[in-house]
């Protein structure tokens, strides 16, 4: 039969996770601090636990999805004694260090631990778009992979419990800078009286989609010790970054990002670098100054 699963935390995401497990036919037990958030799930067949301890004891596998690790520590601590021999998967967004601490705490109480990062929004959980990153001991992942697939494609990253959180936050950082770039470009474009955000975005989406295709080649250069395959004159790149900064200022749009970027490129040029490459771009970000 289908593995029984407990879901602790029924916010937007936790309710989506529990709903996906119910749909996939798993006996699902739920708990949330504000109990009313369980009502709709219970109407769809979930079992309501009165306490966290009761929730953990109901299933061999417990998923946790709360605001942050402070909340998950506070919620789980009183139920520590119930964890022995069970598997805890923490899908709460947190840092790699928090994930490693959570693993040490859980294994100290006799639990098997996996950390996870959900790469989906509540409405896409369990859809073909959704994927979830996992890290921790491989045998724990193997034991529950079939069940975890109900949430979205399950991607195991490695034995270090922190790597799922690292990749999750790295993916979110790319998304966040991309949206900031989008908003910057919209602020520039719509400073012109004859433009609309919608009309501009019709050009932006295919442009960014095309540029994203370059990333695997950039990544290969970062991984390789050989001379980078992709390169552009650093002076040419610097000139265009300075133009982006100036045109932004002329349009009444903040240019801080491009001014900082120009300063970093000027420094590399002064150090004798003449080509813009992916490994140098990564190095520029690593530099402590
Ligand atoms: P919500 O704000 O909808 O839910 C937050 C949950 O945390 C609720 O269950 C809330 O309980 C609980 N909570 C907060 N503080 C405490 C506390 N001190 N003690 C007990 N429970 C507490 O957030 P989401 O469901 O959207 O997010 C949950 C996690 O999922 C986050 O880590 C988020 O980063 C991650 N995530 C969310 C995505 C999204 O698009 N929403 C996408 C990917 C990941 P109560 O109901 O009682 O307030």
**Lowest-confidence segment of 26-35, 147-156, 245-254, 263-272 by average pLDDT:** 263-272
One domain, residues 130 and 185:
no
Q: Which of 143, 159, 175 is the last residue of a domain?
A: 159
Q: Which atom of ligand 1 is nearest to the CA of 37?
A: 46
- Cβ 101 vs Cβ 77: under 8 Å: no
Q: Which of 124, 159, 194 is the last residue of a domain?
A: 159
**41 lies in the same domain as 154:** yes
Q: Where residue 288 falls among pLDDT bands split at 50, 70, 90?
A: low
Ligand 1 centroid from CA 93, angstroms? 9
Instruction: Look up the domain containing 182 and give its range.
Output: 167-286
Residue nearest atom 1 in ligand 1 by C-alpha distance? 11
Whether the per-residue pLDDT at 289 is higher than 60: the answer is no
Whether 78 and 203 map to the same domain: the answer is: no
Paired residues of 89 in beta bridges: 63, 114
Please report the pLDDT score of residue 150 as a whole number: 98
Indicate if 145 and 109 belong to the same structural domain.
Answer: yes
Q: For residue 258, give the CATH number of its domain.
A: 1.10.1040.10
Q: Let me know whether 144 and 234 are in one domain.
A: no
Domain co-membership, 184 together with 282 = yes
Beta bridge partner(s), residue 87: 61, 112
Q: What is the pLDDT of residues 61-88, one digit of tens each?
A: 999 999 999 999 999 999 999 999 999 9
Checking if the pLDDT of 139 tops 90, the result is yes
Residue at a domain's end among 116, 141, 159: 159
Same structural domain, 192 and 154: no
With a pLDDT cut of 70, the percent of the chain lying above it is 99
Per-residue burial over 242-259, b = 16 or more CB atoms within 10 Å of its CB, e = otherwise? bebbeebeeeebebebbb
pLDDT of residue 1: 72
ipTM for the predicted complex:
0.99
Q: Are residues 9 and 94 both part of a single domain?
A: yes
Whether 140 has a pLDDT exceeding 70, the answer reads yes
Whole-number Å distance, alpha carbon 71 to ligand 1 midpoint, is 9
125 CA to centre of ligand 1 in angstroms: 15
Question: Rounded to whole angstroms, what are the CA distances from 252 to 13, 178, 241, 243?
Answer: 39, 21, 17, 14
Ligand 1 atom 48 nearest Cα: 34
Residue-level pLDDT at 285 = 87
pTM: 0.94
Q: How far is the CA of 197 from the centre of ligand 1 (A)?
A: 32
pLDDT digits (tens, 9 = 90+) for 178-227: 999 999 999 999 999 999 999 999 999 999 999 999 999 999 999 999 99
Which of 6, 8, 10, 13 for a ligand 1 pocket mutation test, highest count of atoms within 8 Å of Cβ? Answer: 13
pLDDT of residue 284: 84
- Residue 37 alpha carbon to ligand 1 centre in Å: 12
In this structure, are 55 and 134 located in the same domain?
yes
CATH code for the domain of 33: 3.40.50.720
Going by their DSSP bridges, the two strands 232-233 and 275-276 should be labelled as: antiparallel
Q: What are phi and psi of 186, to 5 degrees?
A: -70, -40
Total number of domains in the chain: 2
Pair (9, 145) in one structural domain: yes
**Residue 125 shares a structural domain with residue 245:** no
Compute the average pLDDT of residues 38-58: 98
Looking at the structure, tell me whether residues 28 and 151 fall in a common domain.
yes
User: What is the rounded average pLDDT for all residues in the chain?
Assistant: 97
Cα 14 to ligand 1 centre (Å): 7
- Residue to mutate (ligand 1; options 7, 8, 9; most atoms within 8 A of CB): 9
Residues linked to residue 112 through DSSP beta bridges, in sequence order:
87
Closest approach atom of ligand 1 to CA 66 = 7
**Looking at the predicted structure, is the pLDDT value of residue 21 above 90?**
yes
List of residues 6+ apart from 255 with CB closer than 8 A: 244, 245, 246, 248, 249
pLDDT value of residue 287: 65
Paired with 156 in beta bridges are 134
């Amino acid at each position: 039969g289908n593995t029984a699963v407990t879901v602790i935390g029924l916010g937007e995401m936790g309710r989506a996770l529990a709903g996906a497990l119910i749909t996939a036919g798993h006996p699902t037990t739920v708990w949330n601090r504000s109990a009313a958030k369980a009502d709709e799930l219970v109407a769809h067949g979930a079992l309501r636990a009165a306490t966290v301890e009761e929730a953990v004891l109901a299933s061999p596998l417990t998923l946790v999805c709360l605001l942050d690790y402070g909340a998950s520590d506070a919620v789980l601590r009183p139920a520590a004694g119930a964890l022995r021999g069970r598997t805890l998967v923490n899908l709460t967004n947190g840092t790699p260090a928090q994930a490693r601490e959570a693993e040490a705490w859980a294994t100290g109480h006799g639990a098997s631990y996996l950390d996870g990062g959900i790469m989906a929004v509540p409405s896409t959980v369990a859809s073909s778009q959704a994927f979830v990153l996992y890290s921790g001991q491989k045998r724990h992942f193997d034991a529950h992979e079939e069940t975890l697939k109900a949430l979205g494609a399950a991607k195991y990253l490695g034995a270090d419990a922190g790597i799922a959180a690292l990749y999750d936050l790295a993916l979110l950082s790319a998304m966040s800078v991309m949206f900031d770039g989008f908003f910057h470009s919209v602020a520039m474009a719509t400073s012109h009286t004859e433009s609309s955000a919608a009309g501009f975005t019709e050009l932006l989406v295919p442009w960014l989609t095309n540029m994203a295709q370059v990333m695997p080649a950039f990544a290969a250069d970062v991984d390789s010790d050989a001379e980078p395959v992709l390169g552009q004159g650093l002076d040419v790149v610097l000139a265009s970054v300075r133009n982006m900064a100036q045109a932004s200022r002329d349009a009444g749009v903040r240019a801080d990002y491009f001014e900082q970027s120009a300063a970093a490129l000027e420094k590399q040029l002064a150090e004798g670098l003449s080509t813009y490459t992916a490994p140098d771009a990564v190095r520029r970000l690593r530099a402590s100054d």
